[in-house]
């Protein structure tokens, strides 16, 4: 199969032919029809993730068709249309038994702990616990966009943020995660203010349902701008980028008893962010992390999509070949593409 291979961190990947994967007894091989290009892949390519062993194939949000199954797989068969949460669970640990597969004690992550989906095929272990069947009428590019950014945002907004109609939600960063969060929060009846440095992304945020936008380059104080728009601060605020400044602003722009959700990864030089702890204590703020979503929670998200309340296909950006994805991946440390870029491994 053709795959994107990273031989050295922070060096240009190459497109090569490598052996096709085979399924483990409890696993499957998926014929990848579409896979998303995410900033987390850039972090992995830079060497920020200690789980990656070289040589490596990136890619962690994808959809496709089961092409082979192991002897112990019971719930899926060849020909099934599927996607997979980017955090794959063991199905046996305490957290899995409690329904918290997104923090599985023995989790694995295609594209990080294992070879990923920037290839024609990807192998997934423990298939019965991790695969999600797709509706027949959902296109593979849309399904691929759900695997990381949209599903992570769904959990961040619905489960962790507990967003309710009429609340103000601030979203810091209008990339794929941020735009997904904006759409989901707006569908719940919340009022959304989006913050970014790029007018093109703020325009997309308004198209996805943001009631107000803040260009952080043109205001003297982002926190005060959000407080003024929201009449005292956001009820829920989400750092969808993952930067010390956006993390601080997201917490600081909350009203009393507000809820901050950290979605954007904080790695390498950004791993330790300043937190206004005096404000957290005095205003009884709540701070949550959000890291993926369980496979069993996809039903709620897919139900909202099929009902027309959520339209993730509107977030799709350009479609790339594997070769075109190489420079796009390398460039993601600067300006991310508008919307969610999708790779077709056979283009």
Enumerate residues 6+ apart whose C-beta is below 8 A from 40: 60, 86, 111, 148, 265
CATH number of the 151-289 domain = 3.40.50.720
Please tell me the predicted confidence (pLDDT) of residue 327: 95
* From-to residues of CATH 3.90.180.10 in the chain: 2-148+293-343
Give which of 285, 342, 276 is closest to 312, Cα–Cα.
Answer: 342
Tokens linked to 270: 């950004």
Domain(s) labelled CATH 3.40.50.720 in the chain stretch across 151-289
- Starting from the edge strand earliest in sequence, which strands make up the sheet with 234-239, in order? 212-215, 191-196, 168-172, 234-239, 254-262, 286-289
Distance CA 203, CA 225 (A): 18
User: How many C-beta atoms lie closer than 10 Å to residue 22's C-beta?
Assistant: 11
pTM exceeds cut of 0.85: yes
Q: What is each CA distance from 3 to 18, 41, 51, in whole angstroms?
A: 7, 14, 20
Question: What is the distance between the alpha carbons of residues 250 and 303, in angstroms, rounded to a whole number?
Answer: 30
Residue 132: closest CA among 154, 113, 160: 154
Of 56, 85, 38, 54, nearest to 293 by C-alpha is 85
Q: What is the mean pLDDT for each group of 10 consecutive residues in the chain (347 residues)?
A: 98 97 98 94 93 96 98 98 95 96 96 97 97 96 90 96 98 94 98 96 96 97 98 98 94 98 82 89 97 94 95 93 96 77 95
Rounded Cα distance, 241 and 173, in Å: 5
What is 2-148+293-343's CATH number?
Answer: 3.90.180.10
State residue 336's pLDDT score. 65
CB atoms within 10 A of CB 185: 29
Listed in sequence order, the residues at least 6 apart from 220 whose beta carbon sits closer than 8 Å to its beta carbon are: none
Distance in angstroms (rounded) separating the CA atoms of residues 261 and 281: 16
pLDDT the model gives residue 337: 67
- Sort 214 into a burial class: Cβ within 10 Å, 0-12 / 13-18 / 19+: buried
Burial of 41 (0-12, 13-18, 19+ CB in 10 A): buried
């Amino acid at each position: 199969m053709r795959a994107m291979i990273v031989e050295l961190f922070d060096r240009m990947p190459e497109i090569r032919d490598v052996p096709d994967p085979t399924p483990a007894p409890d696993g499957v091989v998926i014929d990848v029809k579409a896979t998303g290009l995410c900033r987390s892949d850039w972090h992995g390519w830079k060497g920020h993730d200690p789980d990656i062993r070289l040589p490596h194939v990136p890619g962690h949000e994808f959809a496709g068709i089961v092409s082979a199954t192991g002897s112990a797989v019971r719930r899926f068969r060849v020909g099934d249309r599927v996607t997979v949460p980017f955090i794959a669970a063991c199905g046996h640990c305490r957290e899995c038994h409690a329904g918290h597969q997104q923090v599985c004690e023995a989790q694995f992550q295609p594209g990080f702990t294992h070879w990923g989906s920037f290839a024609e095929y990807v192998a997934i272990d423990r298939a019965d616990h991790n695969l999600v069947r797709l509706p027949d009428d959902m296109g593979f590019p849309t399904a691929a966009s759900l695997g990381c950014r949209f599903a992570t945002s769904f959990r961040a907004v619905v489960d962790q943020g507990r967003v309710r109609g009429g609340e103000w939600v601030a979203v810091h960063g209008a990339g794929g995660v941020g735009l997904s969060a904006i759409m989901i929060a707006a569908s719940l009846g919340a009022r959304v203010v989006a913050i970014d440095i790029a007018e093109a992304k703020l325009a997309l945020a308004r198209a996805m349902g943001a009631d107000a936008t803040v260009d952080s380059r043109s205001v003297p104080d982002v926190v005060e701008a959000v407080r003024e728009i929201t009449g005292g601060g956001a009820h829920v605020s989400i750092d969808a980028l993952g930067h010390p400044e956006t993390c601080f602003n997201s917490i600081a722009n909350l009203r009393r008893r507000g809820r901050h959700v950290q979605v954007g990864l904080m790695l390498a030089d950004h791993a330790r962010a300043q937190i206004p702890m005096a404000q957290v204590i005095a205003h009884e703020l709540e701070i949550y992390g959000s890291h993926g979503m369980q496979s069993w929670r996809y039903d709620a998200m897919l139900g909202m999509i099929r009902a027309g309340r959520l339209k993730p296909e509107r977030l799709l950006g350009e479609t790339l070949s594997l070769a075109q994805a190489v420079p796009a991946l390398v460039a993601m440390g600067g300006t991310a593409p508008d919307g969610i870029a999708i790779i077709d491994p056979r283009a």
